[in-house]
Structure 1
Amino acid sequence: MTQDNTTDLVIVGAGMVGLTLAALLAESGLRIRILESREVDAAQALSWEQSQRAEGYDPRVSALTVASQQVLTVAGVWSQIEQMRLMPYRAMDVWDGEGTGEIRFDCTELHEPCLGHIVENRVTQAALLQRVAGLAQCQLSVGVALTELSEPDADGLRTLTLSDGETLQSRCVVAADGALSNTRRLAGIGMWEWDYGHHAIVTTVTTEQANQATCWQRFTDDGPLAFLPLPDSHLSSIVWSTSPDHAKAVMELDDEGFCQALERAFEGRLGAVTHTDARYVFPLRQRHAQQYVKAGFAAIGDAAHTIHPLAGQGVNLGLMDAAALAETILDGLADGVNWHSDYHLRRFQRARQSENLQMAVTMEGFKRLFNAGGPLPRLLRNTGMTLMNRCSPVKNHIVQQAMGLAGPLPRLARRPVKE
């Protein structure tokens, strides 16, 4: 084994969460290798003007919180994202489609410029790729998969075998390769998981009326439907969570039929739905790793947990994982301790596992609450939403937590205190 085949940290997965971790560790002095199994065209991915803007909107978007914005600012990419394309949203309108309950959150009530930003996933990833490409200590290998992963040896090094035949050693391996993480499986970490009984349909649609810089969400017995505003005022990204049978029927409709069905499901809040881009559908499952860390190993983002998209918190949780793990590693380096040991990495697990589990339980509770039929559950839902909408202190506390302005956060996610 040559010195060139030894590195400090291997991050498996060049998605938003894995790349954010690499960017946050830019000043750490660690040698970092990033592995991505997909055949990413690096030149195309790094050129927003030529490859992204011309292709229209990515159907996959994220509602990034203030806390996530801060993490991406520290990672050195938020200004680049602003130069590309994003949509600040000023309000959220949530209502029960089977009753009269409705809650509206508005940034003016919190004296904030916005509640968050809708950002296409490929915009965030392109900015992160540009950042990582400029880091001398980072090496990105695309089209390469991890096939074998050893336990740590006496020196604390894990041996990795790659699909191209290369073998390397690393002090720490991070699984950031998504919900079906092969890296997590190779590390021998099991999952708790169950099916939500929902499929999610995502696409971009054009509406007769402007989106009003508002995130709209209608809850029905069959599942939530969200319209997320895009920079073009008559475009919205939608996430329609519904039963598998209904999703299948909706996907089989032609574009005109789909637009009509979507307009009815949304109660025409933005007038007629006049156009739809290509539609995509995927099943929704709840997953949670039984543990996040081992000696020389950590799992972050979807590799550690997935939740229902009804509150748009999935990517935000992953970015908080990246921030917390980066802090744990940086603190270990500063203190001169064995930063990749099981004992030290458990600081990251303690910081994030309970938070992620709490969010998963909350999302499951929301799903069950709005799936419950009958007059009594409907009355309780609508009464509760109406009362909450009238109680500004409670409502503002909830939205502050959702924005990442309150509650336990990694240091790198906390907004600087104004002098």
Structure 2
Amino acid sequence: MQHVDIAIVGGGIVGLTLAAALKNSELSIAVIDKAACYQPLSEKPTARVSAINQANIKALQQFDVWNYLQQDRANPYTDMHVWDKDSFGDIHFSCGEMGSDALGIIVENQALVNALAEAGEAQSNVQLVTAGIERVLAGPNQTMLMLDNDEVLSCRLLIGADGANSFVRKQAGLPITFKDYEHTAIVANIKTDEPHNNVARQAFTPTGPLALLPMVAPNVCSIVWSQTPEQAASLMALDDEAFCNALTAASNSKLGMTALETKRSAFPLTMRYARQWAKDGVVLIGDAAHTIHPLAGQGANLGMQDALVLAETLSSLNASGKDIGLYKNLRSYERSRKTEAMKMIAAMDGFKFLFDGNDPFKKLLRGIGLSATDRLGTIKNAFVSHAMGL
């Protein structure tokens, strides 16, 4: 039986960010995932991407993760353009307004996971374990994990970073609240007639938002098209040419005609919020604790901030000789991150309500709001600063 201080279940972006953030601690860490964290990248970019803000980029640079990132699979975006398709509302954000060279980067999820995994393998206090968990035995001072490779691992603290359907959350009996967003997200990569010029674009349509995220190739974007389930089913049923025609119309032909670079995939969107994020010996981070609508592209950033705050909490506890597995010592993390997640969930609900449908009053209100914000420097800078995570 092996023993570590911390067992992180989930070798995705959030779980591996936590391991990286504990690089300089004296804590021993095992990151456990059914599949190997590092996976060779496909020849062409995949459509599963994240928009990582400047605050999290700086953290990854600080932990030397950036040196491992395959640079041709990550693209900085310098501007954002948001508009209401059927109204006069229109707003532009630029990194120049904040004295920065970029607002963030669009990176393939697997490329970032690979960089984090390579950084983890170089850490003396981290081991990556490829195995599933068959059984969890929780004791007063440690938790034992029975793995499907016939190994047993014990830890002082078990961390659930294993996604929306978290096994750790279920095993710990931590309650969750959820709500159907009544949207289905269609994801794909597209090729456009016009270059994207490193601008992230988002159009709000009556049936849901369409995001066009600039990839490394100047004429390739990753799309996240959130639509009502009925509209999404209709779009998925179209042939490629008809789908691209509908996409071009929804984007007001901002980048000219479009063509598919990858297959389309679709998945339903659900808000989840764990009512309790921790108990003795267990704590949640990332999608295991919360999932939000992707319309602002903040899901990964929110989870990474969970990891960074928890790392700071655990490092401080360990340095002062306090028990890292005691719930009362984890309460400060739980309180601060629950508050931030709740704010983000409320903001997404507000945006979704305001930009849904063809109600004339809402169209007028959002048109005035977007146009006024575009002209008011203080409010606009606050939006940009928040988007950058600053």
TM-score interval, normalised by the smaller of the two chains: over 0.9
Identity %: 40
User: Which residue identity lines up with residue 74 of structure 1 in the other structure?
Assistant: Q
Aligned partner of 2:4 among 4, 7, 10: 7
1:145 to 132, 144, 154: 132
Matched, 1:319 2:307: no
Once residues 386 and 84 of structure 1 are traced to their aligned partners in structure 2, the CA distance between those partners, rounded to angstroms, is: 36
- The counterpart of 1:96, out of the listed 57, 80, 84, is 84
Q: Tell me how far 1:220 sits from its aligned partner.
A: 1.3
Q: What residue in structure 2 maps to residue 128 of structure 1? A: 116
Matched with 1:208 is 193
- Displacement, 1:67? 0.8
Q: Which runs of 5+ in 1 are unaligned?
A: 46-50, 406-419
Residue 356 of structure 1: how far off its partner (Å): 0.8
How much has 1:81 moved relative to structure 2? 2.0
**Is the 2:76–2:104 contact (alpha carbons within 8 Å) kept by the matching residues of 1?**
yes
> Of the candidates 189, 194, 205, which is equivalent to residue 179 of structure 2?
194
Residue from 58, 65, 72 that aligns with 2:60: 72
Matched, 1:333 2:318: yes
- What is the number of residues matched between the two proteins? 390
Q: How many angstroms apart in 2 are the aligned matches of 1:188 and 1:138?
A: 27
- Aligned equivalent of 1:110, options 79, 93, 98: 98
TM superposition shift of 1:248 = 1.3
Letter in 2 for 1:152: G
Quick one: distance in 1 between partners of 2:261 and 2:21?
Answer: 37
Counterpart Cα distance in 1 of 2:14 and 2:346: 22
Match of 1:34 among 21, 31, 36: 31
Residue 385 of structure 2 corresponds to 400
Deviations 1:35-66 (A, max 9, x none): 1123x385xx2xxxxx32x5211211111101
Residue 372 of structure 1: how far off its partner (Å) = 4.2
* Distance in 2 (alpha carbons) for counterparts of 1:200 and 1:191: 22
Contact 2:11 2:37 in 1 (8 A): no
Instruction: Describe the SS at the equivalent of 1:315.
Output: helix
Quick one: which of 61, 83, 90 aligns to 2:49?
Answer: 61
Change (3 A) 1:265 1:372: closer
Checking the alignment, whether the CA contact within 8 Å between 2:177 and 2:273 is kept in structure 1 is yes
Match for 2:115: what amino acid? A
Q: Tell me which of 290, 312, 333 is aligned to 1:348.
A: 333
Deviations, residues 217-246 of structure 1 (Å, cap 9, x unaligned): 000120000000011110000000001111
Residue 231 (structure 2) aligned to one of 242, 246, 262: 246
The answer as to whether partners of 1:20 and 1:75 remain within 8 angstroms in 2 is no
User: For the residues of structure 1 that align with 2:158 and 2:276, how far apart are their CA atoms?
Assistant: 15
Cα offset for 1:82? 6.0
Alignment check: 8 A CA contact 2:132 2:147 kept: yes
The offset of 1:84, in angstroms, is: 4.5
AA at the equivalent of 1:151: A
Q: What SS does the corresponding residue of 2:69 show, helix, strand or coil?
A: helix
CA distance in 2, matches of 1:246, 1:320: 34
Classify the secondary structure of the residue corresponding to 2:329: helix
Q: How much is the aligned-residue C-alpha RMSD, in angstroms?
A: 1.4
Contact 2:45 2:73 in 1 (8 A): no
Amino acid at match of 1:102: D
- Residue 412 of structure 1: aligned partner: none
* 1:288-307 matches, cutoff 5 A: 288-307=273-292
Tell me by how many angstroms 1:247 deviates.
Answer: 1.1
For the residues of structure 2 that align with 1:264 and 1:386, how far apart are their CA atoms? Answer: 22
Q: Which amino acid letter does the alignment assign opposite residue 7 of structure 1?
A: V
How far did residue 146 of structure 1 move?
A: 2.0
Aligned positions of 1:160-309 closer than 5 A: 160-309=145-294
Distance 1:126 1:160 in 2: 25
Normalised by the size of structure 2, how large is the TM-score? 0.97
- CA drift at 1:145: 1.9
CA deviation digits over 1:319-361, x for unaligned, max 9? 0001001000000111121122111111211221100110011
**Distance between the aligned counterparts of 2:24 and 2:54, measured in 1?**
23
Offset of 1:293 from its aligned partner? 1.0
Asked if the contact 1:152/1:295 (under 8 Å) is kept, the reply is: no
Q: Which moves more between the two structures, 82-91 or 202-211?
A: 82-91
Structure 2: distance between partners of 1:6 and 1:106: 49
Q: C-alpha deviations, 1:122-146, integer Å up to 9, x for none? A: 110010111111223322221x222
Post-superposition offset of 1:150: 3.0
The reply to whether residue 20 of structure 1 matches residue 8 of structure 2 is no
Checking the alignment, whether the CA contact within 8 Å between 2:156 and 2:324 is kept in structure 1 is no
SS of 2:100 mapped into structure 1: coil
Q: Is the 8 A contact 2:70 2:111 kept in 1?
A: no
Is the Cα contact below 8 Å between 1:148 and 1:186 reproduced in 2? no
Once the two structures are overlaid, the 10-residue window that deviates more, 341-350 or 179-188, is 341-350
Code of the aligned partner of 1:14:
G
